[in-house]
Structure 1
Amino acid sequence: MATDFLHDALVFGPGDVDLSRSPLAGHLDAETYVLGAFNPGMTRLANGNLLLMVRVAEALRHPVRDQQIHAIRWDGDRYVLDAWPLSLVDTSDPRKFMMRGGGWKVMALTSLSWLLPIELDASGTRVETIHYDRAIAPRAAYQCYGVEDARISRVDGRFYMTSCSVSPERHCTTLYTSDDALDWQLEGIVLDHQNKDMLIFEGKVGGAFWAQTRPLGDLYFAYPPDSEWRAGPSINLATSPDALHWKPRDAPGIRPHAKTMATARMGGGAPPVLTTVNGQEGWLTLWHGVEPSGVVGIYRTYWSLLDRDEPSRTLATSDDALLEPAPALTEPLKEQMYLDNVVFTTGIADGGDHWVVASGEADLACRITHVPKQAIG
C-alpha cells in the first residue's frame, strides 16, 4: 500500500463481545455466536474519547436442523426462530439464504444485527468501556430482522445516526438522534425501501441538512457508449430542513467511471466533513468502490472533495484507493473468516495531523487507521 499509515490495527472483533449481555440472551433455544463485529459508526464524545457504534451480527451456530434452515426474527417482545425447508432455498452465501422461485429476489439472513456502543480512548487505539446497557436492538416491525451499519454525524451540537433497518416490510434507512451520542431516540424511517449508506454531512449547507444516499435496484439505464460514466449503483444527494424529510437533489453525486472496474459499484463510507485539501475548502467524503470478483467483490476506500456550497460538484478525487483490504490484520482471526477482500469505511474523526478512520474489515472486525492528512491531496 502506498500510504504510510501512522497506525493501522484491529481494535474490536467477535471475541470481544459478551453474548451473555446480548439483547437476544435468554430468548432462543439455540446456540448463537458472533459472525462479525464490524462496520462501526464513529464520533467524538464530549470527554474527548471516540465512540464506535459497532454492528454485531449474531448468528445461529447451527442454522440447519431437521432438513430446515432457520433465521432469527424479533417479534414485538421476544426473538423467535423461523424455519424453511432446504429444498426451497439457496445457501451458497454464508450470510444469507435465497428463496427459490417467486419471480423476484427474496432472501433471509442467518444472523440478526444489533448495535453495540464501544468507547475508545481519544486516539481510537484502546477500548475503554463497552456500553452494553446502551445497545440498540430492534424496536419496530420494520426492524424485525435487525439494525445494521450505523453512521454518526454531529450537526450544530446534536448527534444524528442513520442505520439500515431490515424486515419483510422494507429495507430502509432509519434515524436516531442524541444529545450525547450515548442515549439515542429512534425518530423512524427517513428513506424508504432499498436505500443504504445514508451519510448526513457534518454541518449544514445554506442552512439545510445535506446527505449522501445510495438507492439500490436491479435495473439501470445505459449511458451513451462514449460516456465517461458507467451505469450502476452511485452516490446521490438529498437535502432536508429538519433531517427527517428528505428531497433528492436533481444533480447527480459521485458516479462510477467507465475507465475502471475497481469502482463499478460504489456507496457512501464516512460522513462528509468540512476541511481544506490543497488550499481548497470543501467536504471530504470517504466512499467505497467495489470491483466485481467472487461472491461480494473487492471493497476499497476512496476519497473525494466536494464543493463547500454545491456538494454535487467534485473539486478533487483520487483514482488510487486510500485503504485496501489488509489480510495481515485478519490473519489471527483466519479461523473465523467467511469473507475476504473487504474494507468498508464507516467513520472519520479529526486527530490533529491525521484523520482517525474507522472501517469494518472482512465483515468481521473493526479497523482503526490513522491516515496522515497530507496523504489526501
Structure 2
Amino acid sequence: MIDLTRSPLAGQLDAETYVLGAFNPALTRLPNGNLLMMVRIAEALREPIFGGKVHAIRLGDCEAGGNADRQYVLDGWPIELADTADPRTFKLHGGGWRIMALTSLSWLLPVVISPDGLEIVTIHYERAIAPAGSWQCYGVEDPRISKVGDDYWMTTCSISPERQSTTLYHSTNALDWTFDGVVLDHQNKDMLIFEGLIGDKYWAQTRPLGDLYFAYPPGSEWRAGPSINLASSPDCRHWRPYLKPGIRPHAATVATARMGGGAPPILTEIAGRRGWLSLWHGVEPREVVGIYRTYWSLLDPEDPSIVLATSDTPLLEANPELTGPLEELMYMHGVVFTTGIVEADDHFIVASGEADLACRITHVPKSAFASM
C-alpha cells in the first residue's frame, strides 16, 4: 500500500528499492477523534548484492557531528566479510566486537485511521519524518507516541555509526512534529513515556542493552538479561534512572528470556484495580530472530516499580491468518511487536507490527484481563 514514488528517498538512488516492511506503528488519538498511526517504513534495496559487495543505504555525511545534506548514498562491503543470516541486518567480520549494517533504511509515515482503528482515512506523505542528521543516517525507527496533557511526545530509535540513541519529537497536534534532540545516548531500543505525570514528573520505561549481564544469585526467580527499567524527568528531556528495578524476566520460563517495552503505559482500571497498564514483549530464543509475544503488567499508580498484577499467558501472539495474503512477502514468522494502545469504551485498541511486515490492529476487551 506504500507509494515509494513519494518516499523521502525517491529519485536519489541509482538502484531499485521496495518496502521490506510497514510495521511497528505508534498509536495515539487525535483531537478530532480519529487515530494516528506513525508507521515505520523499512525501505530496502531490491538487489543489495552486486559487484561482489553487499550494500546499505545511508543519508549524507556520516562523519561524527556532521549535518546530513538529505542526499542518500549507497555503501558497499566485500561480500566475504558479511554474514547475512538475519534478513534485517548483516554482520561484518574483522572487528574486535559486533559490527553490523542494515538491509534497509527506515522513515516514519503518519497514517490517520478511523476512531475504531479499522479504516484508513489519510496517508500523510508530506508529513513523513526522515533522517535529518548524522545521528540517524541509517534510519529512524520504532516510534512510540504518548499524550501528556496537551502535548504529544514521540520517542524513536535513531541509528548511526556514532551511536544507537533514543531521540525525541514534540507536537501539539500529533501531525506536525519538531525534533527535540537525543535524550538517551546509550543503546536503548524501547523508551516509552507514561501517558501522564506521577507527582510533578514525567516517567518512562527504558531498556538499555549490552553484551554483558551479571548473574542473579543461584535460585533467584529472575533471569539475567535485558529488562525494562524506569527513569523520571522534570521536563521530558533530561532523564534520571530510577534506583528500583522495573519489569524483569522470570527464570522459570524461556518465553520471556529477552524482554522490552511495547506500548506506552496508560493509567486505567483493570479488574477493579487502578494502575499503569504496560504492554511489553517477551522473546523466546528460536532460530535467528526468536518468537515475539505481547504480555501485560499493571503497575502501581504512584510507584511504577511495583507490579500490582501480571500474566505469564501471552495477550497477543503472531497470527498467520493475518499475513496469509502476504505470504510471498514474508521473511520471518512468529513475531508480533506491540507499539501502541488507546482506550475505548469496553476495550483497548492495540497497534502492533506483525512479522516486521505489516501493521496490526487488535481490539482487546477489558474483560480479557480479569480472566488472566
Q: Which residue of 1 aligns with 2:100?
A: 107
2:3 is the counterpart of 1:18: yes
Q: Which residue of 1 aligns with 2:263?
A: 270
Which 10-residue stretch deviates more, 92-101 or 149-158?
A: 92-101
**Cα distance in 2 between the residues matched to 1:359 and 1:351:** 17
Q: Which residue of 2 aligns with 1:199?
A: 192
**Cα distance in 1 between the residues matched to 2:46 and 2:242:** 44
Displacement of 1:263 in angstroms is 0.4
Q: Which amino acid aligns with 1:39?
A: N
The question of whether the paired residues in 1 share the 8 Å contact of 2:28 and 2:146 is answered with yes
Q: Which amino acid aligns with 1:37?
A: A
* SS state at 1:274 partner: strand
Displacement of 1:61 in angstroms is 0.2
Q: Which residue of 2 aligns with 1:4?
A: none
**Post-superposition CA distance 1:32-83 (Å, at most 9, x none):** 0000000000000011000000000000000000111110000022000011
2:358 is the counterpart of 1:373: no
Identity of aligned residues (%): 69
Larger RCO (CA under 8 A, 6+ residues apart): 1
Which one of the candidate residues 118, 122, 125 is aligned to 1:129?
122
* SS state at 1:276 partner: strand
* SS state at 1:186 partner: strand
Q: Which residue of 2 aligns with 1:7?
A: none
Which one of the candidate residues 155, 159, 178 is aligned to 1:185?
178
**Cα distance in 1 between the residues matched to 2:304 and 2:4:** 42
Q: Which residue of 2 aligns with 1:53?
A: 38
> How many pairs align?
362
TM-score, length of structure 2 as denominator length: 0.97
Q: Which runs of 4+ in 1 moved over 4 A?
A: none
**Post-superposition CA distance 1:181-234 (Å, at most 9, x none):** 000000010001211110000000011000000000110000011100000000
Which one of the candidate residues 72, 76, 86 is aligned to 2:79?
86
**Post-superposition CA distance 1:87-130 (Å, at most 9, x none):** 11111112111110211000001100000000000000000000
Q: Which amino acid aligns with 2:29?
A: R
Displacement of 1:245 in angstroms is 0.3
Which one of the candidate residues 27, 32, 39 is aligned to 1:42?
27
Q: Which amino acid aligns with 1:81?
A: L
Structure 2: 5+ residue runs without aligned partners?
Answer: 61-67
* SS state at 2:11 partner: coil
The question of whether the paired residues in 1 share the 8 Å contact of 2:108 and 2:129 is answered with yes
Displacement of 1:137 in angstroms is 0.1
**Cα distance in 2 between the residues matched to 1:319 and 1:134:** 39
**Cα distance in 1 between the residues matched to 2:293 and 2:90:** 26
Q: Which residue of 1 aligns with 2:321?
A: 328
Which 10-residue stretch deviates more, 238-247 or 93-102?
A: 93-102
2:54 is the counterpart of 1:69: yes
**What is the CA RMSD across the aligned residues, in angstroms?**
0.6
* SS state at 1:215 partner: coil
Q: Which residue of 2 aligns with 1:8?
A: none
Which one of the candidate residues 231, 239, 249 is aligned to 1:246?
239
**Cα distance in 2 between the residues matched to 1:281 and 1:354:** 15
* SS state at 1:376 partner: helix
Q: Which residue of 2 aligns with 1:295?
A: 288
The question of whether the paired residues in 1 share the 8 Å contact of 2:85 and 2:288 is answered with no
**Cα distance in 2 between the residues matched to 1:321 and 1:274:** 21
**Cα distance in 2 between the residues matched to 1:286 and 1:376:** 12
Q: Which residue of 2 aligns with 1:259?
A: 252
Structure 1: 5+ residue runs without aligned partners?
Answer: 1-15
2:136 is the counterpart of 1:143: yes
2:209 is the counterpart of 1:209: no
**Cα distance in 1 between the residues matched to 2:78 and 2:222:** 43
**Cα distance in 2 between the residues matched to 1:276 and 1:352:** 12
Displacement of 1:294 in angstroms is 1.0
